[in-house]
Amino acid sequence: MSRNEINQALQSIFNERPELAQKIFGSDKLPENMEEAVIHLSSLDYVELIIELEERLNIESIPETVMEQGIPIKILADRIYEHVQQ
């Protein structure tokens, strides 16, 4: 699995789940530069996003610690990639 696949999975989640994208970005429009976009979520929304990623990427147990308030998408993808490589 590559970082690009992780970014594509995130992009597809945001495209298919506009209500989750609204919660994450606080806007109806997705950011132009998705990798630099910053995530703003409640802990419940973190869990929802992690579950979506696990299902789409066929990954077991992405730790919630990969997420944090205000994390850029690029760093999130890097952390998930590092987790998968372990």
Q: CA-CA distance, 3 to 41, in Å (whole number)?
A: 22
CB-CB neighbours of 77 under 10 Å: 23
Q: What is the CATH number of the domain that holds 17?
A: 1.10.1200
Block mean pLDDT (10 aa), the chain, length 86: 85 87 79 77 76 87 77 85 85
Q: Report the candidate in 65, 73, 61, 64 with the shortest Cα–Cα distance to residue 10.
A: 73
When divided into structural domains, the chain yields a total of 1
Give residue 18's pLDDT: 86
> Which range marks the domain in which residue 52 is found?
3-85
